[in-house]
Structure 1
Amino acid sequence: MSYDPIAAASRRNQAVREARAAHTPEVGIWWIIDGELIADSIPYTETPEEVGFRAGRNDHFQFFATLQKLVPELRDAEYIDAPRGRVIYDVAQQQFLCYGSKQSASSPAQQRLILETFRLPADRTQFIPDLHYEYPNAAIFG
C-alpha cells in the first residue's frame, strides 16, 4: 500500500478537530495586539515530541507575514513590535511553559488571556520571562 498524503492530511485534521472538541490544551505562538490575543496553535497531543518538548509548527517571523496580509493595520509593523510569546509542553515535567516578555509573564490579565485561549491548566502552566520576547515598540500596539 502506498502513502496517500491526502488521506494522511485528512486523518490529521480530524484528530485536531477531535482534540479541540475535547478541550485539549494547545501549544504555539501568540501576540497581544490592541488587547486581543492572536494565536497560531495546535493541540499539544497532535505535535511530535522533539527533545522532550512539544511545540507549535510556526515561528513568529513566518506567521506574521500571513497576519499582515489578513490585517491591513499590521502591514507596516514588524513581528517584534507587539507583545508576543510561545507556549510549549515539557513532556518530562508534564507542564506547559509560556515564554513571553517580562510584562506578559507577570501580568495576571495577560496570563488569564493566554490560559483561556490555549486552554491551559493553570496549575500546570509556568510563565517565564524571556529577553527574546521583549518588544521595542510597545507604544504601537498598547
Structure 2
Amino acid sequence: MNMKGFVIVFMAVFPLIALPMMLSAADSGRCMRCGMVVAEQPQWEGRSQRGDEQLSYCSPKCLLLTNPADADAKDLTITVKDYYSTKCIDASQAWYVAGSDVIGPMGPDLVPFEKKEDAEAFMKEHMGSGLYPYSALTLAKIKELLPMKKHHKKAVSSD
C-alpha cells in the first residue's frame, strides 16, 4: 500500500478507534475533578447538572471545589448524599461539617447533612471543627478548611 492509501485508511479508521477515548469522565464513571472511580465509594458521590449535562464527583470536596457558593450557579443543580441516610439532597441546602475524624475518598472532606441537628450531633461525635451552610462555602473558605492535593488546585469550572 502506498502512502496515499495508508492515509486514506488511517483517516477512515482513526475516528472509530478514537471514539471510546472521547467519552467524557461522566460516561466512564470517574470524578470530573480528580478522575477517581465514583462507584468505589458511592456514599460520598456528588453530582452537578446544567441542562442535559450531568457530571459526577467522587466526594463533596471535589464537587464543592468545582462548584463553590461564589461560582456562577445559573441553571445549575448540585446534589450530595446525606452522610447518615445516603439520600441525595440539594447541596445548596445542605449543612457541612469540616474537620471531623471521618475521612472521605480524597482525604479530609466536608461531610454533608440534610438536617442541621444531624450535622451538630455528628460534629460532637466526630470532633468536627466547624459547621457551614453551603452559602458560606466560597472557594477561598473551602481551600482554608481542606488540605489541597496537587490535582485539586485545578481552576474552578466556568461552565
After TM superposition, the score normalised by the length of structure 1 is: 0.30
Q: Which has the higher contact order (CA 8 A, sep 6+)?
A: 1
Q: Which has the higher strand share?
A: 1
